[in-house]
Structure formats: C-alpha cells, structure tokens
Structure 1
C-alpha cells in the first residue's frame, strides 16, 4: 500500500481519538463538578454504558463478518458506524438543555443515553477499521506498518485533544465546557470527511473464508485458540492498568502533585508527544526481537518509572513534585507507541491460527471479543477506582463537600499523616455568583481539601495497582508462541486453502 493510501486509511482514527481520552478523563469530572452528579454515580453510569456496549460487541463483530453488502463488508460497516458515533459525541460533549444542575436524574439520563450511543458507534467503527487493517496486510511486519499508521493518528488526535485547552485558554476560554464543545465540533466535521475519504480510496480486502461458521462455532474456535486466549488476557490486564491511571490522572495531578489545570494538560501533552516520537523505536525493536518481546520491554520501561509516582507528592518534595512527575510522565509516555501498535498487530496474527484451522476468516468476530474483554476491563478499572476512591477513601471531587472532623482524625491516626500538611482551607461558594464563576474560582484554588488516607489511596490506585497489572501482562506474553516464522507458515496454509477454493469454484 502506498504512503498516501496508508494515510488515507489511518486518518479517521484522528478525530475518533480526539474524544477518547477526554471521554475518560474530562467528561466524568465535568459531569461531576459542573452538572452535580456524584463521583460514584458517574463511575456506576460509566460501568453500565460499557457493560451494555460489551454485550453487543460479539453480535456486531459477527454481523460485520457475515453480512456482505454490495459495497464490501468492511467499507460499508465502517461508513454506517460513523453516524451514531458522531451523533453521540456531539450530544454527550454538549449538555446544552437549559435544565438546572439540581435535576440530577435528567443529567444522569442524558449522560447515559448519549454515552451509550457514542460507545456502540465507536465499537462498530473501530471493529471495522481494525479488521480492515488486519486483512489488508497478511505479513508479520506489514501489519506493524498498518497498525502503526493507525495508532500514530490516534496519538496525534489525542495530542490535539490535550493541546486544545492551551489554545482556548489563550483565546480567553477557560474550563472544561469550551474544550468539550470544541472537541465535539472537531469530531462532527472531521469524522464524516475522513471516513468518506477512506471508503472511497482504500480497497476492500480479500476474504479467506472457505466455509462460514455459525455464531457458536466461531466461539468454539476462539476457545480452542490458545495464543488468542493468552494474548487476550494479557491485553485486558494492560488495558485495565491504562484505564485506571487515565481515570485518576486529573485528581493525582491536582491534589497529590498540586498542579493546576494547565499542568494537567501539559502532562497529557508530554505523555502522548513522547508516544508519537517513540513509534519508530518500537518498530525497530520489534524487528530486532519480536512483537511480543518489544511490547513487554515497553511495559517494563513504563512500570520502572510509574512505580515511583507515590514518592513525588507535594507533601514529600515540595514544588519539585511537578518537575519530578513530568519526568515520570515523559518516560512512561515513550511506551505508548508500543502499547497501542503491537497488541492489535499480534491479534491479527492469532486470527491466522483460527483461519488456517477452521477455514473461516472471521476477523471482526475476533476483534469484537477482544473489544468486549477490554471494555469490561476498562469498566472495572473506572468503576472500581472511582467507587473505591469516593466511598471507601472519602475522596472529595468537589471542594464544597464537607469532611467530617472525627473521620479525618481517625484516618490520620490509622494511616499515619505525612510530615507536611496535605489539606488546604475550603473555598466557599459565593451565593451571588453564577455556577460558572464559582467553578472558575474552584479551578484556580486547587488542590481540594483531602485526608491523608484519601491521598495515599489515590497514589496506590494510580501507580502501584496498574504496575502490578502490567507486570502480570508481561509474565503472560514474554514467551508468546507466534513470531515471524510461525506466522509465515500459517499464511502459507491459508493461501493454500484459498487456492483450493478458487480451483474448486473454477472447476
């Protein structure tokens, strides 16, 4: 595939990625702080949306493989899926009805409905895009090129999302709402345009199916595919770690490192900038070793620095905490290129195991089960981290929440208070100011008053739990059985089956 066509294929991933990170980090915080939903409620709603989406994943993937429109199964599904995804993004990022924030039932329903549409549309579009990439290139290293182009666009889209607040702040627009509105416009304009470019310039891939299997037969084939089960478990653990850290980053920077809103954006910008710059490095490492070893090395690099995050709090090293955490974020970000590119490329390889054995190429079905497991992992990560932080640790997302003095003293005595104070006086709301003005004051008055127990819980959930999950993933994947030679052998079997089918049809 030429470079121009490769770029055309990868471009839709850019606007899709632009809303992914804000949807995980900014949207829950916005609905909690600005629209009055509790942190636990947002976590529960997130879990419900992703659970429903996950249930639909296998049926979407199976349909994408077995329903064959005249225009091509990959291109048609890709184009159709862009519609609900774009509409959901426009609505969930734009809570425009003139409904008071006290009407929490309305805003909970609004968040749930449009988040569900966004998630289901994204699932169908992402499954079609990944299946398309896996089938366009049948070679071990060629798939790295396909997925690298797609993932670079994902990281560029994320960089745009993280850099947008800086631009808006220079123009006089502060807070989360202008960011979300601008992102929704980006998604609403760029997604249809790029999707149209892709489906009109990139060809439909060859299909290697000899005899279609039914839904149950496909599931049985997956159950018998040991490399797939192993890779699926490793990626689910890694994705759970990423989701937990992403969900808690805004609170870790605000209350543990004591950075302001611009600092939060800067850290995200550094993280994904180093992710883009590191992509050629991980392509090179994968060629010198293998996909699975390169991915493991990247995860170990990230863990080696993230594990020190609980020791760079403001109560420990003062103002140097921002610089120290910035170094951690930059080094950890260098592993992003491998984390995004190599697992889906490996997924395409394990699909070859089933195609060579069963005679059916149900790529979309495989990526659907992959998406199901990873979404459940993310739902668990988001729900567990937010609920544990909000209920168990008493973490305060809103600075106007009261902290019971007896409870605070009990937690300090039980856990052990840091040497320096970890709380600041509350900033009361001005009854004569608008909610937007109070929100702006609250933003400038970070951090929010927290107990030492809540801060240590935040640090452990942000750093040590994800590191433990990542290292379990490394143990699963270090000696993965499919490398370049084994994948080439599988492709020879698949090509032989395709020639037999063609000769039989001709005869």
Structure 2
C-alpha cells in the first residue's frame, strides 16, 4: 500500500447512521454533564463568595477518586457476563443514577459558611461522579467495539463527537441562564438548571443501552492463553483483584496508548484551563467588570466555536482518510494554536465583537482531538488483544477518560490558582489592576498554545498506521477462527 492508497470499508463493517446517532446520544449526555460541572461551578464564587482557589480545589479533588473508580468500572464491564451484554446494563442504570445525583448536587442550602459549601460540594461531587462513571465507562467501551474497520471507527467517532458538541452549543449559556430575572439569584438559577439537565440525562442516556447491540457479548478468550492477563477460570475475589491490577499495570505500560493519553491531556488541559479562565478575561478586560455583557459575549463566542466544530469534525474525519490520522491531528492542532494566539490581539475593550474571531480557529483543536483519539484507541485495543488475548475496551476507555478528567481537574485547580496569582479580586469589579489584566491575558492566550505544540510531538511518536492496523486485524481474525 502506497502512502496515497487506502483500504475500503467492507459493507459488513459499516455502522448505520441511525446506530451512529444513537451512540452519539451518549456523547451528548456525557458532554453536557462535564460542561455543566465546569461552567456552573462559577456559582461557588459569584453566588456563594468562595475564594477562586478553593473553587478550583473543590472542583479538582473529586477527579482524584476517578483514578480508581474508572479503571475498576472498566474492569468490571470487561468481565461482566450477562444475556444483556457487558456494557448495556451499566449504561442504563448509570444514566439514571447520574441524572438524579446531578440534580441533588446543585441544591445549595442558604446561609452557611465557605467551609460548609466546600465540603457540601466536595462530597456531593464524589457521589455524583460514581454515578457518572457507572454510565460513561461502559458507554465509551461500547463505541470501541462497534466496528473492526480502521476508517469506520473514525466515522463513528466523528458522529458521536459532533453530537457531543451539541452540548457545547448550549453550555456557554449556562452562566447567562442562571442569572435570569425569573430566578431569585444565581444560586436559585443553578438549582433549576441542574434539574433540567438531570431530566434530560435520564431520558436520553438510557437509549444507547436499549437500542444498540454489542459485538462481544462475553470476553472472546474462552480459555486462558499463555500470555493472557487474567485467568477466566479463576472466579475468586483474589483472582479478580490480581487480574485488575495486572491489567491496569499492563495498560499503563503500553506506549502507543500512553502517547495518545499524553497528547489528550495536553490539548484538553490547555483548552479547559482557558475555558474556566477566559470568561474572567472577557468580563473584566473586554467589558470592564460588566458580568451580564461579559456572560453574553462569552456565550456567543462559545456558540461560534461549538458551531464551527461541527464542520471541523467531519472535515477531519474526511482528511484522515486522505493523509492518515496522525497528520490530520497535526494540521488541526496547528490551526487551533493560531486561534489561541489570536486572543491576545482580538480580545479588545474597544471592539468587543472581535472576541468571536479566534473561536473558529480554536475549534480545530477539540474537534480533531475526540474524533481521532477515540478511533486511534480502538486500534490500540486491537493491538492489545494481539498481545494479551483479551478485549479490554473498558480498561483502556476508563484510563483514557480519566486522563481527560484529570486534565479538567488540573485546569480547574490551575485556573483558580492562576487567577489568584494575577491578583484578581472579585470585590474590585472592573477596577482590577493593569498587572492583573496583563497576566490574565498572557495565561489565556499562550498556555494552551504551548500545550498543543507539545501534543503534536507526542502523536508523532504513535506507531499504528492504517497498514499496521489492517495487519493486526487480519491476525486477530485468523486467531479467532482457529479457536
């Protein structure tokens, strides 16, 4: 196969558009919950007066528990045997649990101390994330196994990524919604918004469990192989614990997977850092402390970015079939770096509408990231099966998305620390010092630019090409036919 030639997708490997859309509904639920956790958390500062550093800390700490709960859920899902499959039961009940717990999390009692609200939100977030993990980890794993085809995987991830970004068309308006005159205050607005999101999570989140079928109902290896990670005949608790930790370590040592995790952490961490930070730049630099106007323009910028992402997702999906997944990532990430840098020039108090200009360029970063990474990790799962004789989509998906969550946690915590470092004081309103504004703008524009540049280098080291992926698939199919 030459550099310009590519393999065609066989008809039996294609996924119907309706099934892609159904799977994509899970992405919308997953993203709306994640975006809400990141966007609504400003109520702790703007509504309850919590110190920005504490807001960042209380947002970050619950993610540390995911380091255990996500891989554990992945392991449980990988090794579940039921007539409903390995993934679907958890997706169904997880959607219900996540919705109910999210609604409860944002019902703040009035008149308590900063310390009380810190612990209230910390404990509530940990409990909510347990329900979210029950839903999200098996849903991610289901996507990795729906098709064995190199390019169809990218097309599936393009559809689910596009549907997931519908959430980001809505999420930038959360702060504006919480401040509507129909609510008593931003705290009351957050409580009602959480109930609306929760109802949607429950009703839509269960659909992938009800309407999709799994490709692997049980783990494909019926007997332990010489180099397999776990012994399927060992049903003891000790055997399960041993299998979990051995599989966890093997996953963390697999270099192709680590390159993808590192790149994702850098790109997503850089984006999330400014996502929690740039609203302060818009409010206090572009609009001189006017929260209402700042929130409105922040919403418009987010909507433009999310809208552009739809085109980017399908463009990158097409581009990857022409130049490969790695080069498609290089090109798209480089464009996003231009967008981040443009914020230094186009965020200007005399021309507030210019805040919309960088948004389409920045859209290339995340638009490419979650379209290509999901597809590439599915390829990693095939290489892992070649090495370990096990299908471990749950373990890989859980660790990958924990890295995403860790990036969000680092960004939320880092955003609060950086905001304090700039000398920002919410009590000063629009009278922030010149030094504060200068540092806010520097961090907002150039930290994600640097992170994205390093991510390109990490993907450069990723070894699985289209030809290599096909060779792995052919060997796996020969092995399965022989057993």
**Normalized against structure 1, the TM-score is what?**
0.82
What RMSD in Å do the two structures reach over aligned CA positions?
2.4
Measure, in 2, the Cα distance between the counterparts of 1:175 and 1:339. Answer: 37
- The DSSP-based 3-state class of the residue aligned with 2:431 is coil
Give matches, 1:176-195, under 5 Å.
176-177=186-187, 180-195=190-205
CA deviation string 1:391-436 (max 9, x = no partner): x32212x2x2xxxxxxxxxxxxxxxxxxxxxxxxx5xxxxxxxxxx
Residue in structure 1 matched with residue 322 of structure 2 by the alignment: 288
Aligned to 2:143: 133
What's the offset of the Cα at 1:354?
0.9
Name which of 20, 29, 35 aligns with 1:21: 35
Other-structure match for 1:162: 172
Q: Which residue of 2 aligns with 1:35?
A: 48
Please name the residue that 1:451 is paired with.
433
- How many residues matched? 445
Per-residue CA distance 1:439-458 (angstroms, 9 max, x = gap): xxxxxxxx632122222221
Deviations 1:69-121 (A, max 9, x none): 332111012122223311221022332x3x21x42232222211221122232
Q: Does the 8 Å CA contact 1:161/1:183 hold for their aligned counterparts?
A: no
Give matches, 1:140-159, under 5 Å. Answer: 140-159=150-169
What is residue 264 of structure 2 aligned with on the other side?
235
Aligned to 2:275: 246
Which whole-Å CA distance do the structure 1 matches of 2:180 and 2:473 have between them?
53
Match of 2:286 among 248, 257, 271: 257
Q: Does 1:209 pair with 2:243?
A: no
What displacement does 1:299 show? 1.0
Alignment of 1:287-306 (within 5 A): 287-306=321-340
Find the aligned partners of 2:332 and 2:219 in 1 and give their Cα distance.
33
Q: Gapped runs of 5+ residues in structure 1? A: 401-425, 427-446, 502-507
**Residues 1:196 and 2:206 are matched in the alignment:** yes
Aligned-partner Cα distance in 2 for 1:69–1:278: 39
Residue 88 in structure 1 maps to residue 101 in structure 2: yes
Counterparts in 2 of 1:24 and 1:67: CA distance versus 1, 3 Å: same
Question: 1:296: Cα distance to partner?
Answer: 1.9
Matching of residue 278 in structure 1 with residue 312 in structure 2: yes
Looking at structure 2, the residues matched to 110 and 243 of structure 1 have their Cα atoms a distance apart, in angstroms, of 24
- Check conservation: 1:164, 1:179, Cα contact below 8 A: no
1: CA distance between counterparts of 2:178 and 2:51?
A: 27
Q: Which has the larger radius of gyration?
A: 1
Cα deviation per residue 1:363-410 (whole Å; 9 max; x = unaligned)? 1111122123332232222212311321x32212x2x2xxxxxxxxxx
Instruction: Provide the residue aligned with 2:467 in structure 1.
Output: 485
Query: How many Å separate the matches in 2 of 1:175 and 1:261?
Result: 15
1:221–1:358 CA contact under 8 A, matched in 2: no
Shift of 1:248: 0.5
| 1:395-406 superposed matches below 5 A | 395-396=424-425, 398=426, 400=427
Separation (CA, whole Å) in 1 of partners of 2:175 and 2:436? 28
Q: What's the CA shift for 1:460?
A: 2.2
SS in 2 for 1:62: helix
Q: What residue number does 2:448 align with? A: 466
Contact kept in structure 1, 2:78 and 2:394, CA below 8 Å: yes
Provide closer, same or farther for how the CA distance between residues 147 and 182 of structure 1 changes in structure 2, counting only shifts above 3 A: farther
1:59 deviates by: 1.4
CA 1:329–1:155: 2 relative to 1, 3 Å: same
Contact residue 98 and residue 201 of structure 2 kept, 8 A: no
Give the match for residue 350 of structure 2: 319
| Displacement of 1:184 | 2.1
Q: 2:59 aligns with which of 32, 46, 63?
A: 46
CA deviations 1:46-66 (Å, max 9, x no partner) are 121111222322212111211
The TM-score, its normalising length taken from structure 2, stands at: 0.86
The reply to whether residue 75 of structure 1 matches residue 85 of structure 2 is: no
For residue 201 of structure 1, report the CA deviation from its aligned partner. 1.5
Distance 1:71 1:278 in 2: 36
Query: Larger deviation: 353-362 or 45-54?
Result: 45-54
The superposition leaves residues 479-500 of structure 1 with CA deviations (integer Å, 9 ceiling, x where unpaired) of 5321221111111122222222
Secondary structure in 2 matching 1:25? helix
Give the superposition deviation at 1:257.
2.3
Whole-Å separation in 2 of the counterparts to 1:139 and 1:178:
48
Matched, 1:2 2:33: no
SS of aligned partner of 2:391:
coil
Distance 1:172 1:186, change over 3 A: closer
